[in-house]
Structure 1
């Protein structure tokens, strides 16, 4: 099993090219370097081993410069309101994602792993625009109950004000392909985040009228 999985991980860069779509309002959702790039199980990064040109450290984690600036403002505002938001995981390279994904496959099996971790080349973390967050106390770290903690509630209510969305919302697994992750913030910029908030659109797939991506393409 492990050998087969390792072989799969090494070959993922050659899986079908990303599905290209015409983005509304002039947004570029196809280029890996775009702040609005949509990455999911049907849309592989191009190139698969993409590395952002500019990464900035945020308390030990890394984000693209625009996302890092927004995250700092987000965390500063939370602290001023008495909420300590901690960064858990930001940018991950292709090889780091491959190692993480492989460990989940060995631990849970591939079917379950595909609902909780992206394959390398298909991860938002690789864009440098995603940050997993937690509470300073560690309460409900990377668990659905995080939504009911101070940091989780702050992210849900105020994240959009700083250009972040909760990328994998509750009940959207049939669209995103992932279980609920209230800790996974994705930077899309204030304009899109605010528009999604106003229109009550939960996922980027729905916002950009893309097909649902519950599973990887064969």
Structure 2
């Protein structure tokens, strides 16, 4: 298979699996080895057809440094930044420098002071294209919650701890620990619809709007970040409203392979 040139420096290629056999003058042994070789070649062909490898530049992997005994992500403006419960923390005061309010529908009056209305510029522009495309098909989406600062996340997390009777572990199952929320990257938007009462609940997956997003978001560079059946990988329950911007080519790769962002990096090789 020829290597496919992508828009950003990611290359999808076929994993090449080699095979070899020893030479022998014994005809019977040679025949047996030829048969084994044919079986091995067939097996390798199947592996090659079913295995994908992502070749990814170093800058797209998390770069971390130790700060006060904790691993903190350095390259925070990386469009493919991996933020989850297991990876390093986002810097406490990190706030993207290019936050803008996308020109889309919100279920509330948008004012400059409303933090959650913002996204990073590239992600906001992609969101506008996605919302416009949906509307052309009679699908009306609403942006609910985008950027969330470390400080705001801490308020939410502390409130959840109190709600759970002081149990931080139980709180972390519901609300992201400050520094581990994708919302702080400015690359995420929680999306809902009027048919869902603008709520962020699992029932959104069954609405026409939720179904349209699940089937089309990758075309505009977004992935359904916490899909059903991948809870053990993402660390979060199914969230059909939470969409993360990664760029069109990576989003298409993940959609075609049914990968989460974690699985994408598991299949990525640094070049």
Q: Taking structure 1 as the reference length, what is the TM-score of the superposition?
A: 0.80
Question: Is contact 1:139-1:146 (8 Å) kept?
Answer: no
| CA distance in structure 2 between the aligned counterparts of 1:70 and 1:172, rounded to whole angstroms | 25
The CA deviation at 1:79 is 1.2
What is the number of residues matched between the two proteins?
Answer: 187
Is 1:28 the counterpart of 2:60 in the alignment?
yes
Match of 1:199 among 257, 261, 266: 257
Match of 1:151 among 206, 209, 216: 209
The CA deviation at 1:93 is 0.5
Question: Is contact 1:51-1:93 (8 Å) kept?
Answer: yes
Superposition misfits of 4+ residues, deviation over 3 angstroms: 108-112, 137-140
Is 1:122 the counterpart of 2:154 in the alignment?
no
| CA distance in structure 1 between the aligned counterparts of 2:239 and 2:258, rounded to whole angstroms | 18
The CA deviation at 1:46 is 4.1
Question: Is contact 2:196-2:207 (8 Å) kept?
Answer: no
Of the two structures, which has the highest relative contact order with CA contacts closer than 8 Å and spacing of 6 or more? 1
| CA distance in structure 2 between the aligned counterparts of 1:80 and 1:118, rounded to whole angstroms | 35
Question: Which of structures 1 and 2 has the bigger CA Rg?
Answer: 2
Alignment of 1:76-115 (within 5 A): 76-108=132-164, 109-115=167-173
| CA distance in structure 1 between the aligned counterparts of 2:146 and 2:90, rounded to whole angstroms | 20
The CA deviation at 1:198 is 1.7
Q: Taking structure 2 as the reference length, what is the TM-score of the superposition?
A: 0.65
Post-superposition Cα deviations, 1:4-33, rounded to whole Å, max 9, x if no partner, equal xxxxxxxxxxxxxxxxxxx94115131211
SS at match of 1:175: helix
Match of 2:98 in 1: 54
Question: Is contact 1:78-1:84 (8 Å) kept?
Answer: yes
Question: Is contact 1:168-1:180 (8 Å) kept?
Answer: yes
Alignment CA distance shift 1:46-1:98 (3 Å): closer
| CA distance in structure 2 between the aligned counterparts of 1:182 and 1:194, rounded to whole angstroms | 18
| CA distance in structure 1 between the aligned counterparts of 2:89 and 2:137, rounded to whole angstroms | 37
Alignment CA distance shift 1:191-1:98 (3 Å): same
The CA deviation at 1:172 is 1.4
| CA distance in structure 2 between the aligned counterparts of 1:55 and 1:140, rounded to whole angstroms | 23
Match of 2:244 among 171, 186, 201: 186
The CA deviation at 1:110 is 3.2
Is 1:68 the counterpart of 2:100 in the alignment?
no
Q: State the superposition RMSD in angstroms.
A: 1.8
| CA distance in structure 1 between the aligned counterparts of 2:152 and 2:82, rounded to whole angstroms | 20
Question: Is contact 1:24-1:208 (8 Å) kept?
Answer: no
The CA deviation at 1:185 is 0.2
Post-superposition Cα deviations, 1:114-134, rounded to whole Å, max 9, x if no partner, equal 223211111100000000010
| CA distance in structure 2 between the aligned counterparts of 1:79 and 1:103, rounded to whole angstroms | 37
